[in-house]
Structure 1
Amino acid sequence: MATGDETVRLTVAQALVRFLAVQFSERDGTRHRLIPAMFGIFGHGNVAGVGQALLEADLRATAPDRNEMPYLLARNEQGAVHAAAGFAKTTNRLQTLAVTASIGPGSTNMVTGAALATTNRLPVLLLPSDGFASRRADPVLQQLEDPRTGDISVNDAFKPVSRFWDRINRPEQLIPALLAAMRVLTDPAETGAVTICLPQDVQAEAHDWPVAIFAERTWHVARPVPEPIALDRAVRAIRASRRPLLVTGGGTVYAGASEALREFATATGIPVADTQAGKGAINWDHPCAVGGVGATGSRAANDLAARADLVIGVGTRYSDFTTASRTAFADPAVRFVNLNVLAFDAAKNCAASVVADAREGLRALRAALEGFCVDDAYRDEVRQRNGAWQEVVDRCYSLGQTPLPAQTEVFGALNDLLEPTDVIVNAAGSMPGDLQCLWRASTPEQYHLEYAYSCMGYEIPAAMGVRMAKGDTGQVVAVVGDGSYQMLPMELGTIVTEQLKVIVVLLQNHGFASIGALSESVGSHRFGTRYRMRSRQTGRLDGPDVPFDLAANAASWGVTTLRCNGIDEFRANYAKAVEIDGPVVLYIETELNGPHPPSSGWWDVPVAEVSELDSTRSARADYESAQSKQRFHL
């Protein structure tokens, strides 16, 4: 055992890698490597620092699975952060990945990924390189100079999108920075992007480190229990309600509280609606499950929300899609009870707030509500509304549309084909709306949607992270439209390099279905939402479709690519994809204009107040009418 006086001489980068390799998280008696690998791309800012340290770790390895910090070569730094976020989401935030990047553009490529992680409350560790702390070579290649001060770099852009940020200007600063970083990564309430900026000269600088800092360290992930007085307030509010509705968010899933939620719903009869992050927390066929709520929710959930006298939010942050831009909960006397591990979210809508872990909070609520149950009439209404909605889902899944299927038919096929241990990954465009309305999730792990930041390009790199987290269990299916595909297709190369089994479903409709429909609804004629050639006659983007071949592009990355002509061939090719040893892209063309599921919610997108266009003036009138229904819950 090392004494407090023992030291070892290492560079800052070597110390960093050695420290990260021995950090563990623990919850409910189960221990995990907190950061089991590091993504990155090397440049002059990190190749001789973190890169050299990772090389030493690789050379010390006695077998491929014994490397203390495996290195994964990404194609784009933003994609690497998305992969880390997907990994963290799949492990219920008990593990994550680190990402190293070079100075300048390599580092700022990660800013979008950082914002996504923090918005979604997902832990990621970002290690952007920086200029010279000594300033001997000021300005270095790719350094942004600020005439006002020498103490700012592009890495300061990470501050507003990080939950913790620090810059290591001297070696000894690394120890407190790393300890603080691990605390934030493992704090369910405070987690998000953690950014530690590493000047390139400091990375290579040697220091005598106390050996004790490299001992294995376990960070215990807390499960805060409800304060008795807060629990009593919540219980009194629930007992006084007649039409309660529970809205479950991502916090329920991350806390592993699905079983507690099902037991709570069964005992009380309270219907349960879900957000994008909370879908699957209760199985779709549970008698109390009513589907998605809000702007892209089901008719069943939204009708119940409109008449609810009490809303119980569990692990949700009440985004505008969940609240239909503050129009979903329409009862003038509606009140809120919020159970959340983060006090900031628990206090929203002037709620009776219970700051606690979702699992522990639900268990406490259930015990305290012994004997409470909604009346039979309300149970019957929930059952009837949900039954009617399931008929809508069946129709959307089986339109039989020709010559091109609607994307809802693709989702119907996938919903039939995916097993409970499989995962569907999606993020942006019209797909999340269709999926929240229609997807029948049987388990919390099956539905992996990133909609807090709704970042195009998330799907493929995130699926890579999901696969890494799941090991060989089940299929990982990334569903991506042609618009999102063109943002970050290059991580297909990383998937091939790492020999990861990912199935990518690529839907080609030659445009942006979601924004096109939105553009039309606000009177803007789908302007700028089609992939069209510029016409030499009109000078506008209204010529023929752009003749790109995305299937050929996917194949160029080394991925087996199967073209699907219609839903029957898609189903057959999916079965082939499952059997193929390696990644597969299933390419299918779909109808740009849908149809999509019938809407029952509103989303606040301001329409031009004055316009030369009749369509815009008409849309403005509709907007003002809808806006009049918005309200603050006081």
Structure 2
Amino acid sequence: MTVVATPPPPVDTELTVRLTVGQAVVRFLVAQYVERDGLRNPFFAGAFGIFGHGNLAGLGQALLQHEIDAARAHTAPALPFVFGRNEQAMVHSAVAYARQSDRTRCWAVTTSIGPGATNMLTGAALATINRLPVLLLPADAFATRSSPPVLQELESATSGDITVNDAFRPLSRFFDRVNRPEQLPAALLGAMRVLTDPAETGAVTIALPQDVQAEAFDWPEMLFAQRIWHIRRPPPETDAIARAAEAIRSSVRPLIVAGGGVVYSRASEALASLAERTGIPVAETQAGKGSLSFDDPRSVGAIGATGTSAANELAADADIVIGIGTRYSDFTTASRTAFANPDVRFVNINIAALDAVKHSGIGVVADAREAIAALATALGDYHVDADYRVLAAELATEWDEKVSAAYRVHDPSAPLSQVQVIGLVNALAEPRDVVVCAAGSMPGELHRLWRTRDRKSYHVEYGYSCMGYEIAGGIGAKLAAPDREVFVLVGDGSYLMMPGELATAVQEGVKIIVVLVQNHGFASIGALSESLGSGRFGTEYRYRGGPMDGERLPVDLAANAASLGVQVMRANTAAEFADAVKHAKDADVSTVIHVETDPQGSAPDSESWWDVPVAGTSTLESTREAHETYLRWKQLQRNYLRPSGD
């Protein structure tokens, strides 16, 4: 006789709700919250999107329904939709928002399949390199493969499941493709795990086939319950702090290098206290600029290839470098020539283990604020000698005097240099106002010269140095900090990459002040080309005439900006510029201030280096000379392989 076991009756029947996959995504995102230091807030601030056939009936319909439901309830939508002009730019706006929010808030970005999706690849790389959270929701080809090849589908002769969205895999910290509704909960929860992890965050991509987005399914109500994700502050290991403290106590010329981790951890006060008590001078990376106010007695400013003479002189002799929240990019280390002491050692405090072990350093894997507090206790009464304190202060003062001289406008009626434009913005902005920049010659000049007076007033994207970021980034920064003025500094080259988001600013009523510096070409690459012996070839906007040396193109960027609906002012002297800034600050709409400058103007330099190879052989004398200079610098490069525990 065969006995068939009868399963017991269910104890409880789980409630379900019927929604499309797109509707389920929206409802899930609304229910996600984060908490850090006892402060709780919704994680997703909204969704940027451009609709096409791939996402219109799925996420597009879901976002429309969400807005209609909110209007009927007489409330603001919990996930407001913003229609962008360029998919890459939408990711930049989302990333800038996350950065300005110290990674405690995030945006989703939805696009159609094909070029709409792949346009986001640059933004994904930028987010992941800078370790800033953004959720990318590109549409994908039909999961059912009912009528292949569909419009914009990539066909492969060797695999049936490859789509253009697979290009996101190496650029994302987490990637998933939802081919069936049942897969969605795991994908969404996996995405949240990474987005809220301060060490692992970056671009998160969930590819959603267009047929799956519109498919209805019975979802467990529990999926849409409010979830609170706690952003961790991992404390340091006691032994690691002890090793770090021992190394620092044995040093005579220590130097702190503050990176973006200090800012995101909100560790500025702890850092200022440690520096004041020990007398250790503090230099800053691009992402770490603003960790200390520029006039803090321990601040020596920017370090590395775009650094100050003060920071780089101290770096050259430092016997121990205490990197806090820095990934030691080539600009920070001046391509491994900045820290020239043959006995230099490193202490690396970082929430990411990858960065904590760089340069054979003593690694402290921890939250920056927690580690600084523990290190301060472990150091006890340690402090540097008075002579070293005095030296650091004198070097900082000397540099500040150079900045004042560079900023000074001797003739208010004369045309402005780019450095003078930066100086005027710096003087006319309030301490809490935000400056946004990303590419060209201005990031280097801002790093050296900008006088930061607030932890969140400096917003220069230099992990990827992406042309076109500025205007979109300014929108994101303003959305995150509506109580601050946002000054976008952008050159003509970067402006021409992505000006269309000015229309988005007008559409959303987002006020930004764009300072558009017109120097008729790529000033930064022009200067680099000249230093490499290539004479600014192909870097200026000119008619063809020989090797691109004809007359300048009649490009009117002010007229272009005006056509996009913003207020435009032309200002070519200091007096005109000051009036324009005042007018822009008083206005409640976005303003573009157009300024003509000299593309070959100079700024004070620290004579540092950046490793860009020079042609090993050439018929050009200028190239041969540049190659000889390059070889001399290469001899100064270090490998930093000496174990710091020795």
Bin of the TM-score, shorter chain as denominator length:
over 0.9
Alignment of 1:183-198 (within 5 A): 183-198=193-208
Q: Does 1:257 align with 2:267?
A: yes
Alignment of 1:64-75 (within 5 A): 66-75=76-85
In the alignment, the residues of structure 2 paired with residue 573 and residue 136 of structure 1 have an alpha-carbon distance, to the nearest angstrom, of: 58
1:517-543 C-alpha deviation (Å, 9 max, x unpaired): 1000000010001000123xx4x4211
Could you tell me how far 1:109 is from its partner in structure 2? 0.3
In the alignment, the residues of structure 2 paired with residue 323 and residue 241 of structure 1 have an alpha-carbon distance, to the nearest angstrom, of: 20
CA RMSD of superposed structures (Å) = 1.2
Could you tell me how far 1:400 is from its partner in structure 2? 3.5
Could you tell me how far 1:64 is from its partner in structure 2? 7.1
Which SS does the other structure have where 2:502 is aligned?
helix
Which SS does the other structure have where 1:390 is aligned?
helix
Q: Does 1:428 align with 2:439?
A: yes
Counterpart AA for 1:125: L
Could you tell me how far 1:398 is from its partner in structure 2? 1.1
Q: Does 1:124 align with 2:131?
A: no
Could you tell me how far 1:414 is from its partner in structure 2? 1.0
In the alignment, the residues of structure 2 paired with residue 600 and residue 346 of structure 1 have an alpha-carbon distance, to the nearest angstrom, of: 28
Q: Which consecutive residues of structure 2, in runs of 5 or more, have no partner in the other structure? A: 1-11, 642-646
Q: 1:50 aligns with which of 45, 59, 69?
A: 59
1:356-402 C-alpha deviation (Å, 9 max, x unpaired): 10011111111111201100010010011111111111111115478
Alignment of 1:325-404 (within 5 A): 325-400=335-410, 403-404=414-415
In the alignment, the residues of structure 2 paired with residue 45 and residue 404 of structure 1 have an alpha-carbon distance, to the nearest angstrom, of: 50
Aligned partner of 1:96 in structure 2 is 106
Which one is further off, 424-433 or 564-573?
A: 564-573
In the alignment, the residues of structure 1 paired with residue 402 and residue 443 of structure 2 have an alpha-carbon distance, to the nearest angstrom, of: 17
Counterpart AA for 1:432: P
Q: 1:84 aligns with which of 94, 105, 109?
A: 94
Q: Does 1:614 align with 2:624?
A: no
Counterpart AA for 2:491: G
Q: Does 1:467 align with 2:478?
A: yes
Q: Is the 8 A contact 2:440 2:524 kept in 1?
A: yes
Q: Does 1:451 align with 2:462?
A: yes
Counterpart AA for 1:178: L
Q: Is the 8 A contact 2:36 2:231 kept in 1?
A: yes
Aligned partner of 2:9 in structure 1 is none
Aligned partner of 2:286 in structure 1 is 276
Counterpart AA for 1:53: A
In the alignment, the residues of structure 1 paired with residue 50 and residue 431 of structure 2 have an alpha-carbon distance, to the nearest angstrom, of: 35
Q: Does 1:512 align with 2:558?
A: no
In the alignment, the residues of structure 1 paired with residue 79 and residue 292 of structure 2 have an alpha-carbon distance, to the nearest angstrom, of: 36
Counterpart AA for 1:21: V
Q: 2:24 aligns with which of 15, 30, 34?
A: 15
Q: 2:424 aligns with which of 390, 410, 413?
A: 413
Q: Does 1:603 align with 2:614?
A: no
Could you tell me how far 1:565 is from its partner in structure 2? 2.0
In the alignment, the residues of structure 2 paired with residue 562 and residue 613 of structure 1 have an alpha-carbon distance, to the nearest angstrom, of: 43
Aligned partner of 1:34 in structure 2 is 43
Aligned partner of 1:439 in structure 2 is 450
Q: Is the 8 A contact 2:537 2:548 kept in 1?
A: no
Q: Is the 8 A contact 2:35 2:228 kept in 1?
A: yes
Which SS does the other structure have where 1:327 is aligned?
coil
Could you tell me how far 1:403 is from its partner in structure 2? 4.7
Q: Is the 8 A contact 1:460 1:489 kept in 2?
A: yes
In the alignment, the residues of structure 1 paired with residue 75 and residue 597 of structure 2 have an alpha-carbon distance, to the nearest angstrom, of: 42
Q: Does 1:299 align with 2:309?
A: yes
Q: Which consecutive residues of structure 1, in runs of 5 or more, have no partner in the other structure? A: none
In the alignment, the residues of structure 1 paired with residue 241 and residue 304 of structure 2 have an alpha-carbon distance, to the nearest angstrom, of: 27
Q: Is the 8 A contact 1:505 1:585 kept in 2?
A: yes
1:281-321 C-alpha deviation (Å, 9 max, x unpaired): 11111110000000010000000000000000000000000
Could you tell me how far 1:598 is from its partner in structure 2? 2.0
Counterpart AA for 1:49: G
Which SS does the other structure have where 2:106 is aligned?
coil
Report the TM-score, using the length of structure 2 for normalisation.
0.96
Counterpart AA for 1:582: V
Which SS does the other structure have where 1:155 is aligned?
helix
Q: Is the 8 A contact 1:346 1:354 kept in 2?
A: yes
Change (3 A) 1:151 1:79: same
Q: Does 1:213 align with 2:223?
A: yes
Alignment of 1:195-206 (within 5 A): 195-206=205-216
Q: Is the 8 A contact 2:357 2:363 kept in 1?
A: yes
Which one is further off, 203-212 or 591-600?
A: 591-600
Q: 1:485 aligns with which of 468, 491, 495?
A: 495
Q: 1:556 aligns with which of 557, 563, 584?
A: 563
1:5-28 C-alpha deviation (Å, 9 max, x unpaired): 111111111100000011011100
Q: Is the 8 A contact 2:347 2:361 kept in 1?
A: yes
1:333-360 C-alpha deviation (Å, 9 max, x unpaired): 0000010000100110110010010011
Counterpart AA for 1:10: L
Aligned partner of 1:541 in structure 2 is 548
